[in-house]
Amino acid sequence: MLIPSIDLMGGRIVQLVRGEKLELAFDDFDYWIQRFRNYPLVQLIDLDAAMRQGDNRALIVRISSQLPCQVGGGIATIEKAQETLRAGAKRVIVGSALFRKDATPNDPASAVDTEFAAALSRAVGVERIVAGIDTKQGRIAVKGWKEQVPLTPDEAVLQLEPFCGAFLYTHIDKEGTMRGFPIEVAERLRSLTQRQLIVAGGIRDRREVEALDRIGVDSVAGMAVYTGTMPA
């Protein structure tokens, strides 16, 4: 399944390369809402909230009330998750809040906040939580991808599986480049979990989406869709 991505920053739909360089920006929201109307799921990310530099709350409400969205970006509390779901989101993507920067060296378990994950799953339901696992050079990246946690994605998946209905793995090193997602990473993660697995980062064409689909992995695409390389 292809999941188109809407990333919001500064009141616009944007596409960044590796989470840093602004490549594309649009403000024709109605056009893209119409383009994505027939998709069973759309990914909606508030980059400003993720980076702790404001938010795009009104746009989140506007878009998630018209499209079936999983919404992420700055969802760090149970209250914020509940608010986002009430605003129309089908699911919430929670990333940084699931991890602790002050992990004990050589103890991966200490890097995952399972207490928060358990409380969140009780409050909103396991099936409405997508655990966001964003990695840079093989390690978990948090706080808008500005900081890292001494934890591999494999370790994170194994610890978080009881508390979420799906995983969203973003390969930051390929994000926005359209250079292809590393299929071997998807195969490895697929073998670790029974939950829905969604991957993002570098996806460039329908053939790649279909290859991932064959191994039971769903795909998020942004840059390829907005540039017309992979028509929505």
| Residues pairing with 156 in the sheet | none
Residue 1: pLDDT band (50, 70, 90) is: very high
pLDDT in tens, 125-144: 999 999 999 888 777 877 76
Q: At residue 105, does pLDDT exceed 70?
A: no
> How high is the mean pLDDT of the chain?
91
- Coil, strand, or helix at residue 102? coil
Over 70: is that where the pLDDT of 29 sits? yes
Please state the domain extents for the chain: 2-226
Best CATH choice for the domain 2-226 from the list 3.30.2320.20, 2.40.50.140, 3.40.30.10, 3.20.20.70: 3.20.20.70
- Residue 148, pLDDT above cutoff 80: no
Cα(50)–Cα(192) distance, integer angstroms: 27
pLDDT at 5: 95
What is the pairing mode between strands 91-94 and 129-136?
parallel
What pTM, to 2 d.p., does this model score? 0.92
Q: What is the pLDDT of residue 8?
A: 97
Query: Which two three-digit tokens encode residue 171?
Result: 């390969």
List all residues 6 or more positions away from 152 whose beta carbon is below 8 Å from its beta carbon: 108, 135, 138, 139, 140
Residue 6 has pLDDT above 80, yes or no: yes
In this predicted structure, what is the pLDDT of residue 13?
Answer: 96
Q: What is the pLDDT of residues 38-87, one digit of tens each?
A: 999 999 999 999 888 899 999 999 999 999 999 999 999 999 999 999 99
CB atoms within 10 A of CB 105: 6
Helix (H, G, I), strand (E, B), or coil: what is residue 70? strand
pLDDT of residue 103: 61
Q: How far is Cα of residue 5 from the mean position of the Cα atoms in its chain?
A: 9
In tens, the pLDDT along 151-178 reads 889 999 999 999 999 999 998 877 777 7
Task: Return the pLDDT at 57.
Answer: 94
DSSP symbols for 138-190 = TEEEETTTTEEES--HHHHHHHHGGG-SEEEEEEGGGTTT-S---HHHHHHHH
Q: How high is the pLDDT of residue 104?
A: 60
Determine the average pLDDT of the residues in 84-97: 95
Task: Give yes or no for residue 27 having a pLDDT over 70.
Answer: yes
Q: Per mean pLDDT, which range of 1-5, 114-118, 189-193, 202-206 is the poorest?
A: 202-206
Instruction: Measure the CA angle with vertex 153, ends 123 and 201; round to 5°.
Output: 95
- Give the whole-angstrom CA distance, residue 112 versus residue 100: 6
**CA dist., res. 28 & res. 118, Å (int):** 39
Q: Which of 227, 189, 221, 229 is nearest to 43 (CA)?
A: 221
> Which pLDDT belongs to residue 179?
83
